[in-house]
A and B are shown apart, each in its own frame.
Chain A
C-alpha cells in the first residue's frame, strides 16, 4: 500500500456486506464487476464481519469512495503527517 496517496481505514462494525467496494474495485482493475475478482474481500457472517485486502491492493481508495456506510474511509497520507 506504500505507493498510494491514501490510507484506507476499516471499521467492520459498520459494514453491511453490500460489496459496493468490491464491485467498484473489480471494475476498475479487471473491467468487469464481480466482488470475487476484487482486491478487497468482505465476509459478513451474521453479526461478524471480516474485511481483507489482497497483496495487489495499492490503497487507491476506490473502495472507500463507494462505501455508503463509513465502514471504509480514506485519508490522504500528507494530511496525517
Chain B
C-alpha cells in the first residue's frame, strides 16, 4: 500500500538567488515526525543556523500542512510555520486555520515550503500545480492585507489560498502577523516581520492535483462513524450559530445576530468558527469585516471603546496593517504611562494616547505600522522600547514573558485569574505567551476535577500519569490538587498530535477527537502503521526537538522561562483547583513538574540522554 495523504513534495526557494528546488518528501522523516507541525519542526532543525537573527536572510520560514489536510475528515485544514521569531528570539511554531490555503497548497503538490534568503525587491510566491514562481510584488507593497488579497483574488480567482502581510510586516514590526485570506492569523511574535524581512509580501497556492488516501475502505468506515458522532452532538447547531459568542458574554447575542452576515469555515470544518459581519447602522454602516472570531472585534471594548461599531472599525484597520492586537494595546498603555511619568516627552506624543478612542488608536496604529515619528520607537515592541529608554522605563512595563505581553491573566487583555494549562503555557511554550497549545479541561474555569479523567484519557494521558496529575487531598473532604505542570506536558503533546496531522485544535473541534481516533485516521490515510502509542511517540519527538533547537540557540530556563511579578500580587492569579493566591514557588515547581513529566532535566530543561534515546533523537541532538 503506497503512502497516502501526503502531497509528496517539499519545495525550497532561496529568495536571494532565485533558485527553486523541488524535492520528494522524505517518507522516513514523514513517518518519524508524522507530518504537519512535527515535520515543520524537523525541517526547521535542518534549515536553521543557530545564532542567526530572526530577521536575517539566513532565518528560514518552514511552512507545512499535515497528511489529513485536504481530505474530508472534519476540520483538517491547519497550516503551520516554524521559524525564529523576532520578539522572543526563540524558534517557535506558528499555527493558523488554513481556510483554503492549506488545502490548496497540498493540491498544488506540496506538503511543505522552505523559504530562505531575501529578495532584492518585493515579491510574492505563486505555487500552482507542481510549480513555484517568484513574482514581482511592487504593486502590492505598501498595501494592507485586504487590498492585497483583493488584487490577488482578482488575478487568480477563488478559492485560491493566500497568505499575506500588511504594512506592519513590511516595516519589520516585531508584533506583526501574517493573515490567511484575511480571516486567520499566523504568527503572534512577529511572523509578519520575518516575511517582511525577506521582501516577501504573500504566498498564493492553488492546484488541481488530488489527495488520495492509502486505505479507502478503512477511511470510509472511520470517517463515516466520526462524522455521524459530530452530527449527533446536541450542541452542534449552537456552536455553528454562535461559535465563541456562546461562552463569551462580552458580545451580546442580539447585537451579534444583527450584524452577522456569514459564518465561515476552513476547508472541511463542520463547525465554522470564523465570522463575516456587517455594521448595521451608524457612521460605519455597511462596513463588512471578516475575522477569525467576532469576539476579536470586541477587544477594543475591553480597553474602553464605548461603541462596538467603532471597535469593529478599528479592528478592521489593525488587521489590515497586520498588527497583533494584544501587543498593540499593551504598548499603547505602556506608552501612555511613560508619557505621564515624563519618560517620553509629551510633545512627542501626538495625538494624545487614549486607548478608548478610535481616532487616537487609529493614528497610532498607522504611526507604528509605517514607523512614523514616535511610532518608529514603539514599533520596536516591548524589547525595543526598553532597550531604547533604559532601566528608567522598566518599572512601568506590564507583565512580560519572552519579550511579549501575556494575553491571558491579571492585567492582560483576557483578565481571568485561574491558573490552568493555557496560563502556564504562556511561559513554557517556546514561542512565548500564546495559549493555543496549552488547551486542556482547564479551558473551562472551575470545572470539577472529577470530570478530568475522561478528557485526559481522550488526549492520550497514560493511566499511570492520571494520579500524578490529579492528586487526592489528604483528608476525605480536602480539595484535590491539580498538578498543572504535569498536565501541560500532555496538553502540549496533544496539540502536537493534532498539529502534525493537520487537525484544528480549537475547543469546538478537538473535543470530538481522541488519540485513538487520530491513530485510526492517520493509519487509514497515510498507510503508516500507527497506533496511539506511535502517534504519541512521534509527537513527543517533535515537541522535544523544538526544545533541542532552542537550547542549541542559547535558550536557558533562567533567561527565558521567568515569571512576571504581577501574577503574584493580591489581585494576581489563583490556584485552579483551590482558588488560593498563586505563589511564585508553586509555579517554579510546576515548571519542574513539566520538565520531569517530559523527561527533561529539572534544572536546565534539557532533554536527558535517556529521553533522547527513547525518542531516537540522537542524530538531531548532536547538530
Task: Tell me if B208 is interfacial: C-beta within 8 Å of chain A.
Answer: yes
Contact at A36–B240, with CB atoms within 8 Å? Answer: no
Task: Tell me if B517 is interfacial: C-beta within 8 Å of chain A.
Answer: no
Contact A35 B103, CB 8 Å, known A23-B72, A26-B210, A49-B262: yes
Chain A 21-65 per-residue mask, 1 if CB under 8 angstroms from chain B, else 0: 001101100111111110000111111010000000000000000
Residues of B within 8 Å of A16, CB to CB, are 262-265, 269, 272
Residues of B within 8 Å of A23, CB to CB, are 70-72, 267-268
Contact at A46–B288, with CB atoms within 8 Å? Answer: yes
Partner of B107 from A15, A34, A46 at Cβ < 8 Å: A34
Range for the number of chain A residues in contact with chain B: 20 to 34
Contact at B212–A31, with CB atoms within 8 Å? Answer: yes
Residues of B within 8 Å of A19, CB to CB, are 100, 103, 159, 267-268
Task: Tell me if B211 is interfacial: C-beta within 8 Å of chain A.
Answer: yes
Contact at A27–B276, with CB atoms within 8 Å? Answer: no
Shortest beta-carbon distance, A81 to chain B, in Å? 28
Contact at A31–B210, with CB atoms within 8 Å? Answer: yes
Contact at A24–B158, with CB atoms within 8 Å? Answer: no
Partner of B70 from A31, A34, A44, A45 at Cβ < 8 Å: A34
Interface centre among B231, B265, B271 (most CB of A within 10 A): B265
- Chain B residue with the shortest CB-CB distance to A23: B72
**A interface majority secondary structure:** mixed
Contact at A18–B208, with CB atoms within 8 Å? Answer: no
Please, how many residues of chain B have a CB less than 8 angstroms from a CB on the other chain? 36
Task: Tell me if B278 is interfacial: C-beta within 8 Å of chain A.
Answer: yes
CA distance A34 to B206 in the complex (A): 10
Contact at A33–B72, with CB atoms within 8 Å? Answer: yes
Shortest beta-carbon distance, B578 to chain A, in Å? 41
Contact at B278–A18, with CB atoms within 8 Å? Answer: no
Task: Tell me if B270 is interfacial: C-beta within 8 Å of chain A.
Answer: yes
Contact at A34–B270, with CB atoms within 8 Å? Answer: no
CA distance A28 to B230 in the complex (A): 22
Number of A-B contacts (CB under 8 A): 98
Contact A68 B270, CB 8 Å, known A19-B103, A35-B159: yes
Contact at B240–A46, with CB atoms within 8 Å? Answer: no
Residues of B within 8 Å of A34, CB to CB, are 70, 107, 207-211
Contact at B210–A17, with CB atoms within 8 Å? Answer: no
CA distance A45 to B153 in the complex (A): 10
Partner of B240 from A13, A30, A68 at Cβ < 8 Å: A68
Contact at B159–A43, with CB atoms within 8 Å? Answer: yes
Contact A36 B288, CB 8 Å, known A23-B71, A47-B276: no
Contact A20 B268, CB 8 Å, known A33-B72, A46-B290, A69-B240: yes
Shortest beta-carbon distance, B297 to chain A, in Å? 15
Contact at A44–B158, with CB atoms within 8 Å? Answer: yes
Interface centre among A32, A37, A43 (most CB of B within 10 A): A32
Question: For window 210-265 of chain B, which residues contact chain A by CB distance below 8 Å?
Answer: 210-212, 230-231, 236, 240, 261-265
Contact at B270–A36, with CB atoms within 8 Å? Answer: no
CA distance A53 to B613 in the complex (A): 55
Shortest beta-carbon distance, A32 to chain B, in Å? 2
Contact A20 B270, CB 8 Å, known A33-B71, A33-B211: yes
Contact A27 B231, CB 8 Å, known A18-B268, A37-B208, A46-B288: no
- Chain A residue with the shortest CB-CB distance to B99: A17
Task: Tell me if B418 is interfacial: C-beta within 8 Å of chain A.
Answer: no
Shortest beta-carbon distance, A55 to chain B, in Å? 18
Task: Tell me if B266 is interfacial: C-beta within 8 Å of chain A.
Answer: yes
Residues of A within 8 Å of B71, CB to CB, are 23, 33
Contact at A47–B288, with CB atoms within 8 Å? Answer: yes
Residues of A within 8 Å of B290, CB to CB, are 46
Shortest beta-carbon distance, B208 to chain A, in Å? 5
Contact at A17–B209, with CB atoms within 8 Å? Answer: no
Shortest beta-carbon distance, B63 to chain A, in Å? 19
Partner of B212 from A20, A32, A68 at Cβ < 8 Å: A32
Which 5 A-B pairs have CB atoms at the shortest separation, nearest pair first?
A32-B210, A18-B265, A68-B270, A16-B265, A23-B72
Q: Using CB atoms and an 8 Å cutoff, list the residues of chain B in contact with chain A.
A: 70-72, 100, 103, 107, 153, 158-159, 206-212, 230-231, 236, 240, 261-272, 276, 278, 288, 290
Identify 23 residue pairs between A and B in the complex whose beta-carbon atoms are under 8 Å apart, listed by A's number.
A13-B262, A15-B262, A16-B263, A17-B264, A18-B272, A19-B100, A19-B159, A19-B267, A20-B268, A32-B209, A33-B71, A33-B72, A34-B210, A35-B103, A35-B267, A43-B158, A43-B159, A46-B290, A47-B261, A49-B262, A66-B72, A68-B230, A69-B240
